[in-house]
């Protein structure tokens, strides 16, 4: 059986201390074990960090323009391999090839942003801040940094992390999800081909043992994480307790508010794509829709019921498929248990996606689109992140009630409003307590030169992903105050706090 190995010191490597640590990698469309991935030990972490630490100073000393040239070449190589990367990604994740191509592209956008790192690293300066005194600031890299990424975006999220980390002069160790390990490995090879020195990017596949060893390592200066909220909070607490810089992105329960004046044709199509695309396995999916007013709710429900049967669930290579399977049989069972729970809590099961099987792919991890109505805020199925193709309708009587639902939820990743009313949109964007807001945009993921990040239990730490926040996260500021002596103008020492008088 094929084995996915690590990427260490510029090449693929099986050099691990325990040759018997593996995890299975499934083909979600068939349910078969497609390959295995080798898992790193704490000793392997020590070796990778040591190599990264040794290589990082020379890379940091390289001028930013030369580091940018590596990013330019990396960008070109990704563009050349877009189709093969998308096919490889979809074979392990199960998302459609078109969706996988978008996964790669959104990560590529951040690589492109980081091609401008010479401009992004420019500090500030003041000449003549005091008598003969100049002040300037420098953005310096941290050293060895770490990224821990989830299964659902095997290209996008690793690129969100590694591109700004490496462009700013750090070494970076990536621990990708063991469920979707092949694309991160290929990206590492492409970055090496682009001219990245050996040791600056390492890819260590692993599990909890690997993650804890990376967080605890004394030479790791920063940790970036994306995953569930409980684990994000634990990663943040563990890293922060050790004095490390940590950004930890967690779960979500994004709401889409539909006003009575919304363009209902467009809103329904947007909601369908945002709720069921990628089988709902996105932290920016739209699993809750909040129609304002009973007439709006009834119309929205009727339209959704009419459109959902038209959705095509298929294998990842099917160009006509709207979405594919979920990642594992265990995850499908978890999603189904939440559907059961919602019904037991009193929700109305309007469309049931359970029990779906595709001919010739009977063992695939498929689940059809599910729609639940009459969902209440006190239901656990509403409070928790389901992370599957399940859409819940929570009815509201007013815009204020709809805003309160999104604001009071434990998660605060994304939220959207569908309306033609500029005043309602302004009230919504000003008052809702959520990190990323869309107006007639169902998945408001910011472009690469802004930053991605939620509020509340959707994010822990003070810096968001990519954009200028990404540059700030992977650098620290050094401020220099300098005065050059002038012959014959020396003065005596001062014993009071210096001022610029």
Catalytic residues: 283
Tokens of 398: 């007013």
DSSP 364: S
CA nearest to 456, candidates 411, 403, 404: 411
The CA dihedral of 328, 151, 342, 336, to the nearest 10 degrees, is -10
Using CA atoms, how far residue 189 sits from 28, 64, 186, 196, 460, in Å, is 25, 22, 5, 10, 31
Distance between CA atoms of residues 315 and 295, nearest Å: 37
CB contact set of 463 (below 8 Å; sequence gap of 6+): 245, 247, 453, 469, 470, 472, 473
Tokens of 387: 């992370």
For residue 430, give the H/E element and its range: helix 422-431
Burial (CB count <10 Å: 0-12, 13-18, 19+), residue 150: buried
* Residue-level length of the chain: 501
Distance between CA atoms of residues 104 and 112, nearest Å: 12
Contact by Cβ (8 Å): 283, 249: yes
CA nearest to 57, candidates 165, 141, 163: 141
Instruction: Answer positive or negative: Cα dihedral of 244, 153, 73, 463.
Output: negative
Distance between CA atoms of residues 330 and 217, nearest Å: 32
Distance between CA atoms of residues 259 and 403, nearest Å: 12
CB contact set of 478 (below 8 Å; sequence gap of 6+): 137, 138, 139, 140
Laid out side by side, the sheet with 475-483 consists of 125-130, 133-141, 475-483
The residue assigned the tokens 């930013």 is 64
Using CA atoms, how far residue 114 sits from 32, 68, 107, 165, 447, in Å, is 38, 7, 11, 9, 13
Distance between CA atoms of residues 392 and 370, nearest Å: 8
- How many Cα atoms are found within 13 Å in the side-chain-facing hemisphere of 193? 15
Distance between CA atoms of residues 403 and 401, nearest Å: 5
Beta strands 348-351; 455-456: pairing state: unpaired
DSSP 6: E
């Amino acid at each position: 059986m094929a084995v996915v190995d690590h990427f260490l010191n510029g090449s693929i490597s099986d050099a691990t201390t325990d040759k018997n640590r593996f995890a299975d990698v499934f083909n979600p469309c068939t349910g078969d074990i497609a390959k295995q991935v080798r898992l790193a030990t704490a000793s392997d972490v020590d070796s990778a960090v040591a190599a990264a630490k040794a290589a990082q100073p020379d890379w940091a000393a390289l001028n930013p323009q030369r580091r940018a040239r590596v990013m330019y070449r990396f960008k070109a190589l990704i563009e050349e391999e877009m189709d093969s990367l998308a096919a490889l990604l979809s074979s392990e994740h199960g998302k459609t090839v078109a969706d996988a191509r978008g996964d790669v592209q959104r990560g590529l956008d951040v690589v492109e942003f980081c091609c401008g790192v010479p401009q992004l690293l420019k500090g500030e300066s003041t000449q003549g801040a005091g008598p003969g005194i100049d002040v300037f600031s420098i953005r310096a890299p941290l050293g060895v940094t770490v990224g821990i990424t989830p299964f659902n975006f095997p290209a996008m999220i690793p690129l969100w992390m590694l591109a700004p980390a490496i462009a700013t002069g750090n070494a970076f160790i990536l621990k990708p999800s063991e469920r979707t390990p092949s694309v991160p490995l290929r990206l590492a090879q492409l970055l090496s081909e682009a001219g990245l020195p050996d040791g600056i990017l390492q890819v260590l596949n692993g599990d909890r043992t690997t993650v804890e060893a990376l967080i605890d390592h004394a030479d790791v200066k920063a940790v970036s994480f994306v995953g569930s909220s409980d684990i994000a909070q634990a990663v943040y607490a563990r890293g922060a307790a050790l004095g490390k810089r940590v950004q930890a992105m967690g779960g979500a329960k994004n709401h889409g508010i539909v006003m009575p004046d919304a363009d209902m044709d467009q809103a329904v199509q947007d909601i369908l794509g945002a709720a069921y695309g990628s089988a709902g396995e996105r932290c920016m999916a739209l699993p809750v829709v909040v129609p304002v007013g009973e007439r709006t709710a009834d119309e929205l429900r009727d339209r959704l019921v009419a459109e959902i049967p038209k959705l095509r669930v298929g294998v990842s290579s099917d160009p006509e498929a709207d979405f594919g399977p979920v990642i594992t049989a265990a995850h499908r069972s978890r999603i189904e248990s939440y559907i059961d729970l919602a019904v037991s809590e009193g929700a109305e099961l309007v469309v049931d996606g359970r029990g779906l099987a595709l001919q010739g792919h009977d063992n695939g991890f498929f689940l059809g689109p599910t729609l639940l109505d009459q969902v209440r805020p006190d239901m656990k199925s509403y409070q928790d992140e389901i992370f599957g193709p399940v859409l819940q309708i929570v009815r509201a009587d007013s815009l204020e009630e709809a805003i309160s639902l999104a604001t009071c939820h434990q998660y605060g990743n994304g939220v959207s409003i569908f309306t033609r009313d500029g005043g309602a949109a302004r009230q919504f964007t000003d008052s809702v307590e959520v990190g990323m807001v869309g107006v007639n945009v169902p998945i408001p993921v910011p472009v690469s030169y802004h930053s991605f990040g939620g509020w509340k239990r959707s994010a822990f730490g003070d810096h968001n992903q990519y954009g200028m926040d990404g540059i700030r996260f992977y650098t620290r500021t050094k401020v220099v105050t300098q005065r050059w002596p002038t012959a014959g103008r020396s003065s005596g020492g001062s014993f009071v706090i210096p001022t610029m008088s």
